[in-house]
Copies of this chain bind each other. A is one copy, B any other.
């Protein structure tokens, strides 16, 4: 048998196991509803072991929240969106976006925990990272788009992002287990309303 120069590659190291366990538990039970003992148990180590890797429970949450925020994939993916018309561009962007978001199911629940249990105190770190890129994104979108109705860029962006939040929150309220499959047709209808809403009627 051949053996690697390193110890047999364990699927994950301890720190990753802790992060993964905590991530899932924070989504399921919130921050104060999740104990460090349960995180340790799910990660397969003793309570004290967590503190060899993370200084506190809040540090654990903060790292998970910041690392799994979808903007890491969403912004690059939107930058690569393509389309000859604004409509094609929006549809392509929406499709890429949905794909990126599905890689982080239930992230919105982490955002809820952040907003309620931390009053959004970790959000400031994100805004400086997100704002410039998204401003650039919108600018690029609008300069190619004479057929877009005169709507402020920030409103275009918020409405666009709102589509995903509305869709996801609607699904969550109809089936709180959160395990409902993605309904492409319903989501397409959300996009249709948005597209029809921002395009001038000329081309239709």
Chain A residues within CB distance 8 Å of chain B: 27-33, 109, 112-113, 115-117, 119-121, 123, 149, 151-152, 155, 158-159, 161-163, 165-167, 169-170, 172-173, 176-178, 186, 189-190, 192-198, 201, 204
Contacts and interface: CB of A to CB of B under 8 A. Distances in A.
A74 to B, nearest CB: 14
B123 A176 contact: yes
A131 to B, nearest CB: 10
10 contacts: A27-B116, A29-B116, A30-B32, A32-B32, A120-B172, A155-B186, A155-B189, A162-B170, A196-B198, A197-B198
A109 to B, nearest CB: 5
6 A-B pairs with the lowest CB-CB distances in the bound complex, closest first: A120-B176, A162-B166, A197-B197, A32-B32, A193-B197, A112-B112
A78 B165 CA distance: 23
Chain A binding surface SS class = helix
Nearest to A35: B32
B193 A155 contact: yes
A51 B195 CA distance: 54
Given A31-B33, A197-B194, A151 B189 contact: yes
A165 B166 CA distance: 7
B119 A177 contact: yes
A201 B198 contact: no
A201 to B, nearest CB: 4
B120 A116 contact: no
